[in-house]
Amino acid sequence: MVAALAGAPILAGAAGLEIYFIDVEGGQATLFVTPAGESLLVDAGWPGSGHRDAARIAAAAKAAGVKKIDYLLITSYRAGTVGGVQGLARKLPILHFVDHGAQTETGRDAAVLYNEYSAFRDKGQHIVATPGAAIPVKGMEVKVLSAAGHVIDAPLAASGGPNPACEGYPRPAADTTEDGQSVGVLISFGDFRMVDMGDLTRDREYDLACPVDKIGRVDLYLASHNGGAASGSAAFVRALDPHVAIVASGPREGGDAGVWQTIRDTRGVLDIWQLHYAMGADKQHNAPDTFIANIDEQCQADWIRVSVQKDGTFHVVNSRNRFQKTYTKQ
């Protein structure tokens, strides 16, 4: 069941989980604020542009009443995920840093990104994510599904069993880039379930979804790799069978038309929300404008906010036009 209200006042969550999908134009910055008052930020956006993304994250944190980041989860050591840490650390205290451990890529650019990040990480508490472990954020459950090229060994209690979407789908070639090292997590709050797999590649998606679905159905899917073609296989998305998907693409980062269509064709998907209109795709492979936070390439950095209740109901708001929609547990 869903209900939509365009132009209605933005509703505050009553002792619920608040999630802000912050526009960092094709990287990631997703802020979770629990009823217990703790915060989890997944990734910190890009470096440069006068610390633009750090400022955008700080603005969302202020709107959420957050004065510190209790846990910063870095899904991978890419410029659009870890590059903004330096600027962010100057705006908000960061208490715990969570990542997959050692850098696996070589080269000057990779070394600079990692060394700049680790300099700030060394000032806080460091947690190395391992598949099956929990990140101890008070007020919600955060389970690590993938990290450092590995995934959980055994299916979760809510797993879906054999996955028919795997039939005839061979395991993709092994990815040797930093993307394949991505930390992916399952967020649970009461009856609500959401996955954020960072930039996890299709070979590791296969290990989570084929031949047995190890995760089970979710309510909300943050499209992997900003909806880019290296992730988001049909076998994986159909195993998750989300009710709602959010694509955190930039105007020209992610937003692949084929991946968008895979999500749209998945049985349980009711709606796709986007942080940006994907300039590289046609109108038929973008959500309706009302579901897109930023429709112009030169944007105002509007965000998407999700308010979650323990019964699984969640309310999505587009800050650009105040369009909002409520989804109840299916």
How far from each other are the two terminal CA atoms of the chain, in whole angstroms? 7
Residue 176's domain comprises 2-327
Q: Within 13 Å, how many C-alpha atoms sit on residue 257's CB side?
A: 7
For 156, 206, 235, the CA distances from 168, given in Å and listed in that order, are 24, 12, 10
Rounded distance between C-alpha atoms, residue 251 and residue 267, angstroms:
27
Q: Where are the alpha helices (DSSP H) in 68-185?
A: 79-82, 85-89, 108-121
Mind listing the pLDDT tens digit for each residue in 58-80? 999 999 999 999 999 999 999 99
**How many domains, the chain?**
1
Q: What is the pLDDT of residue 12?
A: 43
Is 23 in contact with 299 (CB distance < 8 Å)? yes
One-letter amino acid for residue 146 of the chain: S
Q: What is the pLDDT of residue 3?
A: 46
User: Nearest-CA neighbor of 236 among 269, 200, 206, 194?
Assistant: 206
Q: What is the pLDDT of residue 6?
A: 41
Question: Which stretches of 6-156 are assigned E, i.e. beta strand?
Answer: 17-21, 30-33, 39-42, 69-73, 94-99, 125-128, 141-147, 150-151
| Encoded tokens for 297 | 């390439």
Q: What is the pLDDT of residue 7?
A: 38
Give one word for 255, left, alpha or beta, with left for phi > 0 and alpha for psi -120 to 50: left
pLDDT in tens, the chain (330 residues): 444 444 334 444 458 999 999 999 999 999 999 999 999 999 999 998 889 999 999 999 999 999 999 999 999 999 999 999 999 999 999 999 999 999 999 899 999 999 999 999 999 999 999 999 999 999 999 999 999 999 999 999 999 899 999 999 999 999 999 999 999 999 999 999 999 999 999 999 999 999 999 999 999 999 999 999 999 999 999 999 999 999 999 999 999 999 999 999 999 999 999 999 999 999 999 999 999 999 999 889 999 999 999 999 999 999 999 999 999 987
Q: What is the pLDDT of residue 15?
A: 82
Which CATH number goes with the domain that contains 83? 3.60.15.10
Q: Within 13 Å, how many C-alpha atoms sit on residue 256's CB side?
A: 15
